[in-house]
């Protein structure tokens, strides 16, 4: 039995889906997403009820002719130092980057449903679910293991993070902390638990936390030298409205506009030298080791490190620091203030962006300023961009200046910038290794809605729900593993042919995938030495890494394609490593050939005969090597012998000699 339902999106677009009632709601949703050309979402019925994607349609109370709404949530992303995690529109999570830093969430994937928000330390992630529980993954000592407090993590409303610890605020205003208890970093709040009542806000620096209570007082914990002990100023911490943090200190803004500071005195924790000036403060901006306070009259007061971080030359330019509207800071201690007339004043370390003299005449009608570790980028009223600071950190944009037009927003890694233009394309500059060069994925950067950054890589989120990454592959610049996870739309550990075809279609067809493969900066060739069918064990591929010829002796590798992958369409196996890895599909095997492959005989001659007689279409989906999915079609009868001898066999199917599925019909699947 089947039913037909109409599914609509908020854009007004609708589609009709016919589906058997024994199918899961997830399958219906996938068909609707594909037809509407959108990313993952959740189905809502006419009563405003979210449908359970795991239910069978016959158990979901859906009726023939029903109208459903596909609700696409706003994509939320969090970039740790070397990994990304993204909350998709349906409340699931995709992660990639360095596995030990949270780039692999497969161990908790079945728990990551209906995720509302996400937070990260340096090397771990914490997700708050709709029911108020929390799921964590990544390095245990950075908060990736919350098992010791799991029973306490209920009704969680907010999560905040220091470098190696998390602090969760629950609905009743109490706080739960976890992370590295060996290093004093705020993971252990036991000494302060008796005071942590009616907590409203939490601020964190590198190794300490500060909580504002409902009565305006403050409770601190963590490393004393980082501000984890505020006893010296506790009597002053009353009617606190907000707290700002540098790496090693805190600055609290009180209701009367005054400021109280504590923590490392040399890095912003001691404001005594300027305390008499800190009146009617409206906003506080921090760098790693210094603070700048914006006063109601538009003047600015700064304090903190005068040497390595901010070279505090404010005393030489006090007349310019008037009518300041906004302040931005680089990590290394330079500040930039936008004045009321749209011009800019800079101060602090000259080599870190504190000297804008060479571009001062261009800094007119400035709307917004973004900062990397040691450089600034300003968006002007006409959509153009002006940069200054250390060129290695994005302070020199001359190479892309003619493309920086109609810029809408800018994001930064430690040493590179990426700008989204009005047409949804992206321009990047700065350190190529850290995201300053997006040429390998430029043709994919279309209809970009937002960009998120880790320390050394960028992730762009497109209007269709897909993700494009670039930069340091080890730090999240390669999301191919996450893409494989996205192919497995029902998260059952298998990729069906239908799921694979949907992914290829979203990517623009096989031709688009191949074109991207050719351009990839992560491309590594390999010479196939031998390909053998192993009864009961699948297919064995021996190959050599050609890349190693440039750097040293050849590296021989072996990839076993398990039999389970062959006889169950496709299977994800994240434990498999190698140049060719993760997913294999074998189709078009007639029954006698399947029986032959399962035969117990292991004699070499029979193996060779099986290989030559198997009419198979192999599809290798490469994960972890290329920033896009690599698809290779091989007709064993026609090209098996070439694979054993031709180290550039890849080019044969691209030129059509190996029955590669490059025809127009296949491209449209």
Whether 222 and 207 have beta carbons less than 8 Å apart is answered as yes
Q: How far is residue 401's CA from residue 390's CA, in Å, rounded to a whole number?
A: 17
Q: How far is residue 407's CA from residue 429's CA, in Å, rounded to a whole number?
A: 14
Going from the C-alpha of 450 to that of each of 14, 229, 418, 424, the distances in angstroms are 25, 38, 10, 9
- Under 8 Å CB-to-CB from 306, ≥6 apart: which residues? 312
Structural tokens at position 152: 């306490």
- Render the burial of 110-120: b for 16+ CB within 10 Å, e for the rest: ebbbbbbebbb
Report pLDDT digits (tens) over 463-504. Answer: 777 788 999 887 888 776 555 555 555 555 555 555 555 555
What is the SS3 assignment for 369? strand
pLDDT at 484: 54
Q: Residue 634 — left, alpha, or beta (φ > 0 → left; ψ -120 to 50 → alpha)?
A: beta
pLDDT at 356: 94
Count of CB atoms situated within 10 Å of the CB of 39: 21
Read off the pLDDT band of 240 (50, 70, 90): very high
Structural tokens at position 515: 């074109």
Looking at per-residue pLDDT, the higher value among 563 and 572 belongs to 563
pLDDT at 71: 73
Q: Looking at the predicted structure, is the pLDDT value of residue 340 above 80?
A: yes
Domains and CATH numbers, the chain: 2-71 (3.10.20.90), 524-568+582-589+616-631 (no CATH)
From the number of C-beta atoms within 10 Å of its C-beta (0-12, 13-18, 19+), residue 379 rates as buried
Report pLDDT digits (tens) over 509-539. Answer: 555 555 554 444 444 445 555 545 555 555 5
What is the SS3 assignment for 562? coil
pLDDT at 610: 35
Looking at per-residue pLDDT, the higher value among 63 and 236 belongs to 236
Q: Looking at the predicted structure, is the pLDDT value of residue 547 above 80?
A: no
pLDDT at 55: 85
DSSP string, 202-236: EEE-SSEEEEEETTS-EEEEE-GGGTT--GGGGGG
pLDDT at 9: 75
Name the residue among 391, 471, 470, 469 with its Cα closest to residue 433.
471
pLDDT at 91: 82
In this structure, the dihedral spanned by the alpha carbons of residues 105, 111, 114 and 116, taken in order and rounded to 10 degrees, is: -60
pLDDT at 516: 52
Q: How far is residue 279's CA from residue 129's CA, in Å, rounded to a whole number?
A: 42
pLDDT at 419: 96
Angle of CA points 386, 389, 394, to nearest 5°:
70
Count of CB atoms situated within 10 Å of the CB of 553: 7
Give me the mean pLDDT over the 527-553 stretch. 51
Give percent above pLDDT 90 in the chain: 43
Q: How far is residue 266's CA from residue 578's CA, in Å, rounded to a whole number?
A: 49
Q: Looking at the predicted structure, is the pLDDT value of residue 641 above 60?
A: no
Report pLDDT digits (tens) over 586-637. Answer: 333 344 444 444 443 333 344 333 333 333 333 333 333 333 333 344 444 4
pLDDT at 481: 56
pLDDT at 602: 39
Q: How far is residue 131's CA from residue 154's CA, in Å, rounded to a whole number?
A: 8
- Which of 11-15, 100-104, 551-555 ranks highest by mean pLDDT? 100-104
Looking at per-residue pLDDT, the higher value among 580 and 406 belongs to 406
Least trusted range by pLDDT, from 169-178, 212-221, 347-356, 640-649: 640-649
Q: Looking at the predicted structure, is the pLDDT value of residue 358 above 60?
A: yes
pLDDT at 1: 81
Q: Looking at the predicted structure, is the pLDDT value of residue 301 above 70?
A: yes
Report pLDDT digits (tens) over 411-440. Answer: 999 999 999 999 999 999 999 989 999 998
Q: What is the mean pLDDT of the chain?
A: 76
Least trusted range by pLDDT, from 291-300, 419-428, 656-665: 656-665
Q: Looking at the predicted structure, is the pLDDT value of residue 652 above 70?
A: no
pLDDT at 78: 82
Whether 308 and 334 have beta carbons less than 8 Å apart is answered as no
Structural tokens at position 146: 């919350």
What angle in degrees, to the nearest 10, is found between the helix axes of 25-36 and 497-506? 20
The helix or strand, by DSSP H or E, that contains position 170, with its residue range, turns out to be strand 165-170
Name the residue among 572, 568, 570 with its Cα closest to residue 484.
572
Looking at per-residue pLDDT, the higher value among 647 and 198 belongs to 198
Q: Which residues pair with 302 in a beta bridge?
A: 292
Give percent above pLDDT 70 in the chain: 68
Whether 87 and 115 have beta carbons less than 8 Å apart is answered as yes
Report pLDDT digits (tens) over 68-108. Answer: 888 776 667 788 888 888 887 778 888 888 888 888 888 89
Chain centroid to Cα 382, Å, comes to 30
Looking at per-residue pLDDT, the higher value among 252 and 57 belongs to 252
Read off the pLDDT band of 578 (50, 70, 90): very low
Q: How far is residue 29's CA from residue 40's CA, in Å, rounded to a whole number?
A: 9
pLDDT at 529: 53
Q: Looking at the predicted structure, is the pLDDT value of residue 118 above 60?
A: yes
- Which of 102-111, 543-552, 576-585 ranks highest by mean pLDDT? 102-111
Read off the pLDDT band of 54 (50, 70, 90): confident
pLDDT at 515: 56
DSSP string, 68-83: EEEE-PPPEEEE-SSE
* Integer-rounded Cα radius of gyration of the chain: 28
């Amino acid at each position: 039995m089947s039913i037909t339902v109409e599914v609509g999106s908020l854009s007004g677009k609708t589609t009709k889906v016919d589906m058997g009632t024994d199918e899961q709601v997830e399958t219906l949703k996938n068909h609707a997403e594909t037809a509407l050309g959108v990313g993952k979402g959740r189905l809502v019925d006419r009563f405003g009820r979210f449908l359970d994607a795991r239910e069978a349609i016959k158990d979901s109370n859906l009726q023939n002719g029903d109208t459903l709404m596909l609700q696409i949530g706003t994509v939320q992303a969090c970039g740790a130092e070397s990994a990304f995690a993204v909350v998709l529109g349906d409340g699931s999570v995709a992660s990639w980057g360095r596995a030990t830093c949270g780039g692999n969430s497969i161990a908790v994937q079945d728990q990551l449903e209906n995720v509302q928000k996400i937070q990260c330390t340096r090397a771990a992630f914490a997700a708050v679910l709709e029911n108020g529980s929390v799921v964590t993954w990544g390095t245990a000592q950075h908060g990736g293991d919350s098992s010791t407090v799991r029973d306490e993590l209920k009704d969680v409303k907010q999560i905040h993070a220091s470098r190696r610890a998390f602090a969760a605020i629950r609905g009743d205003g109490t706080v739960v902390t976890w992370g590295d208890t060996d290093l004093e970093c705020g993971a252990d709040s036991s000494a302060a638990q008796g005071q942590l009542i009616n907590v409203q806000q939490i601020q964190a620096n590198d190794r300490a936390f500060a909580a504002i209570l409902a009565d305006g007082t403050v409770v601190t914990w963590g490393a004393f030298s980082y501000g984890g002990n505020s006893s010296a100023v506790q009597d002053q911490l009353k009617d606190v409205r907000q707290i700002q943090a540098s790496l090693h200190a805190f600055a609290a803004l009180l209701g009367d506009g005054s400021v109280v500071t504590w923590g490392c005195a040399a890095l912003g924790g001691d404001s005594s030298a300027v305390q008499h000036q800190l009146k009617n403060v409206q906003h506080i901006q921090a760098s790693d080791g210094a603070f700048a306070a914006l006063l109601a009259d538009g003047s600015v007061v700064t304090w903190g490190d005068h040497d390595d971080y901010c070279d505090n030359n404010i005393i030489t330019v006090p007349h310019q620091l008037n009518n300041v509207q906004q302040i931005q800071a680089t990590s290394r201690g330079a500040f930039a203030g936008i004045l009321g007339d749209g011009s800019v004043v800079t101060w602090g370390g000259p080599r870190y962006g504190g000297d804008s003299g060479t571009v001062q005449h261009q800094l007119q009608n400035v709307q917004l300023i973004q900062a990397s570790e040691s450089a600034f980028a300003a968006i002007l009223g006409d959509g153009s961009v002006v940069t200054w600071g250390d060129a290695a950190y994005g302070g020199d944009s001359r190479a892309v200046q003619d493309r920086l037009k109609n810029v809408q927003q800018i994001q930064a890694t430690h040493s590179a910038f990426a700008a989204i233009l009005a047409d949804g394309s992206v321009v990047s500059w700065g350190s190529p290794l850290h995201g300053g060069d997006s040429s390998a994925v430029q043709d994919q950067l279309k209809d970009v809605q937002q960009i998120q950054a880790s320390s050394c890589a960028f992730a762009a989120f497109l209007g269709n729900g897909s993700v494009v990454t670039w930069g340091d592959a080890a730090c999240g610049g390669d999301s191919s593993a996450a893409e494989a996870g996205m192919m497995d739309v029902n998260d059952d550990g298998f990729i069906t042919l239908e799921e694979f075809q949907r992914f290829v279609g979203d990517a623009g067809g096989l031709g688009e995938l191949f074109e991207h493969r050719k351009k990839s900066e992560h491309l590594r060739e390999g010479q196939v030495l031998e390909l053998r069918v192993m009864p009961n064990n699948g297919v064995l591929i021996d190959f050599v890494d050609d890349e190693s010829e440039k750097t040293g002796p050849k590296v021989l590798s072996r990839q076993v394609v398990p039999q389970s992958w062959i006889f169950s369409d496709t299977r994800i196996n994240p434990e498999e490593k190698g140049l060719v890895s993760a997913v294999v599909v074998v189709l078009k095997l007639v029954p006698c050939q399947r029986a032959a492959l399962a035969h117990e005989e292991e004699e070499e001659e029979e193996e060779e005969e099986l290989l030559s007689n198997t009419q198979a279409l192999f599809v290798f989906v490469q994960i972890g090597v290329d920033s896009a999915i690599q698809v290779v079609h091989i007709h064993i009868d026609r090209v098996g012998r070439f694979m054993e001898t031709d180290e550039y066999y890849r080019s044969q199917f691209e030129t059509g000699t190996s029955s590669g599925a490059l025809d127009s019909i296949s491209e449209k699947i």
